[in-house]
Amino acid sequence: MKPEDYVVSFDSAAAMLRALGNFLHGRDFPAMGSLPAFLEFAAKPLMALVNTMPDRAREFVYTWSGAREAIPPEKAGEVRAEEISRWATDHYPRRKYPAAVIGSSNGALIHLCAALGIPWLPQTSLVTLRRSDIGPDEPEREVEWGRKPARELLGSNPELALHHMLDPNQDRLMSRRMSYFRLKRMRLGEVYGRFLEENLEVGATIFLSECGLTWPTTGVAERHVFQFGGLGGATPEEFLRGGERVEEYLRRYGVGQRR
């Protein structure tokens, strides 16, 4: 498989990479890069139509459109970290830069990179795996399901750590049909190193972007953790122990449990 077959396009890090790459090439970035520029005008009426649908129908469209990007779990071992790095660096024009950024994604950081005219090399990428028999409110089953594909993926990529994520709040619709494997590079790697050597000016500055946000995780295996929930809307305490807001949320989706 090629990286574009398994790196998820709707992920914010991928969108930021495409946006900055387009800018450094002097190109616009229509529809968050999800469509070629010539299709943007034609897609607007379709998007407007989807927005008029009843909630359940709109959720169905959203769930299945995202599931198209998920790969079969038996192909997890075919993911390659260095190929992802090569795909990332291919977004940028080859020329001499006065600086570069390596690390965590951040929207404001991408604006700064654009203003300075410098590339950003992402540390994290998202791969989703197809599955259908686990609900978004079943973290224990999700952990067990993910052990085998995680083992195969990490066995092929010793430079990666894996955050297997399940967020029934923000990713409820998508997680009905897929599992989120967020890959975090632990070493620079040959491809990123060569890109910096060949494209930075003498005396250039390398900035490290480090995210200081934290969230509870559960260790599953070496270089493999499980993350239940994520920043935004609900607290770690609500994910783990429930509460009034959680009860109301689950009732709204017809879930027969309180937490």
Interval 237-258 mean pLDDT? 92
**Between 151 and 63, residue with greater pLDDT:** 151
- The pLDDT of 28-44, averaged and rounded, is 66
- Does residue 244 fall inside a structural domain? no
Q: Is residue 145 part of a domain?
A: yes
Residue-range definition of the domain harbouring residue 167: 3-228
> Can you tell me the distance from the alpha carbon of 185 to that of 224, in angstroms, rounded to the nearest whole number?
12
**Phi/psi at 193 (nearest 5 deg)?**
-60, -45
In a domain, 238, yes or no: no
Q: Is residue 236 part of a domain?
A: no
Q: How confident is the model at residue 145 (pLDDT cuts 50, 70, 90)?
A: very high
Which two structure tokens, joined as six digits, stand for 128?
Answer: 């989703």
Q: Which residue has the tokens 């594909």?
A: 149
Confidence check: pLDDT of 29 > 70: yes
Asked whether residue 91 is assigned to any structural domain, the reply reads: yes
- pLDDT reading at 251 higher than 70: yes
